[in-house]
Amino acid sequence: MESKRLAGEKAVDFVEEGMVLGLGTGSTVYFTLVRLAERVKQGLNIKGVPTSIETERIARHLGIPLVNSGEAGKIDVAIDGADAIDSHFTLIKGGGGALLREKMIALAADRFIVVADPGKFVTDLTHVNLPVEIIPFARELTEIHVKGLGCTTRLRMKDNKPFITDNGNFILDCSFSEIIEPNDLQMKLNRIPGVVENGLFAGLADQIITVDHSGKAAVLET
């Protein structure tokens, strides 16, 4: 928990007066939000674009000013977490179910900063569950096509019912025996009718903030 706090808080060092920020989702970003709220109370003028209903709820509770993506005009910096980060700084995201909005905001931002504790780093993404957001209609047909790319799939459940994203969709958690070309895989997934988006974030992170062996926050340039 301490490493999450250090990484999450460090990201606020990159926030400047007047910025529009993409506010990610998850346990590490929570510490970013808390620190950001402290800066706002001290007089920092920023606006945030939340990537999930949960982040919006937390940000409003903390007193962080919010705008929607249409009102924002541009996003200077997006700050978000990751479920896994490989040696090439390719991310898997979507464990919290917000992958579509997270990817939209990450792509729109001038700079994408990822905050992660050291446990998120892996040698490769093999056997790391890859979330794929799909529309509910004919989801069995979509699942067949996704499996055709060489993975096993599991429909994400919550309270004995299919998990519903903020966008009203389902999520397939997919396990691939190997992910050699992430860019190729994400394009193939997104070409399948019924697939909305996938949790591969390849070549998007500009900086990754984690904690080094000495216990201090470290910034990795990608």
Binding site as annotated, residues? 25-28, 80-83, 93-96, 120
Query: How far, in Å, CA of 124 to CA of 127, rounded?
Result: 9
Q: Where is the binding site for substrate, in residues?
A: 25-28, 80-83, 93-96, 120
Catalytic residue from among 16, 56, 71, 102: 102
Query: How far, in Å, CA of 205 to CA of 80, rounded?
Result: 10
Q: Is the dihedral of CA 46, 49, 55, 56 positive or negative?
A: positive
Residue 70 buriedness (CB in 10 A; 0-12 / 13-18 / 19+): exposed
17 is catalytic: no
For residue 127, CA distances in Å to 133, 148, 150 come to 18, 17, 12
Provide the annotated active-site residues: 102
